[in-house]
Amino acid sequence: MSRINVTTQLTIALSGLLAMPAYAAELNLSVEIPQLNVAEYHRPYVAVWVEGADQKAVANLSLWYQTKDTKEGHGTKWLPDLRQWWRKSGRTLKVPVDGVSGPTRPVGKHALKFGDKQSELSKLAPGSYTLVVEAVREVGGRELVKIPFIWPAKAPQSGNAQGSSELGVVALAIKP
């Protein structure tokens, strides 16, 4: 075989590899805030984070709280009411956290999507983790649900947890 043919074959083979689609892991989450029949309703504060096998927080994904000043003060005053999140991660953060913090959400299902290139997930070492969602509401209750998962995903994964008061269904789907 001539040198030109080998170079051409190698170039064609490499270009085929480069043309293959790039796959990226994606973590999709659905959080349901249920309709409650109560005299005084306040939207819940919600924290979403990832814990390692040692139950320490390794990634904050989302934080919903009252972001505007009201007569009762600024919403950050009440963040310690998200007790588990506050103890594990919140007290060391300076809020608002870019790409994580946002306003409280109304009743309904809320979709969140996180890619493996986002800073919080890109730092995760391969292993077993737990997605944690905590909700607390003024003149209401507190609830925490957990869903285990493996990162990075080698195959599609899904899991869900059913809240009993402050949270409805929390569903996790991970695509490799």
In a domain, 36, yes or no: yes
137 CB contacts (<8 Å, ≥6 apart)? 42, 43, 44, 45, 166
Six-digit token pair at 145? 């649900």
Per-residue model confidence (pLDDT) at position 11: 45
Q: What is the dihedral of CA 107, 164, 85, 129, to 10 degrees?
A: -110
CATH number, domain at 123? 2.60.40
Q: Which two tokens stand for residue 18?
A: 């480069």
Distance of alpha carbon 88 from alpha carbon 82, whole angstroms: 10
The reply to whether 38 falls in a domain is yes
Cβ atoms of residues 144 and 164 within 8 Å = no
Q: What is the pLDDT of residues 10-32, one digit of tens each?
A: 444 444 444 444 447 899 999 99
pLDDT tens digits for range 114-163: 998 887 899 999 999 999 999 999 888 999 999 999 999 999 999 999 99
In this predicted structure, what is the pLDDT of residue 14?
44
pTM of the model: 0.85
Report the domain count for the chain.
1
The answer to the question of residue 50 being in a domain is yes
Q: Is residue 8 part of a domain?
A: no
Q: Is residue 96 part of a domain?
A: yes
Q: Is residue 6 a part of any domain in this protein? A: no
How does the average pLDDT of the chain come out, rounded? Answer: 87
Q: Which domain holds residue 159?
A: 23-175
Residue 90: the pLDDT is 96
Q: Among residues 53, 65, 57, which one has the least CA distance to residue 100?
A: 65
Q: Is residue 113 part of a domain?
A: yes
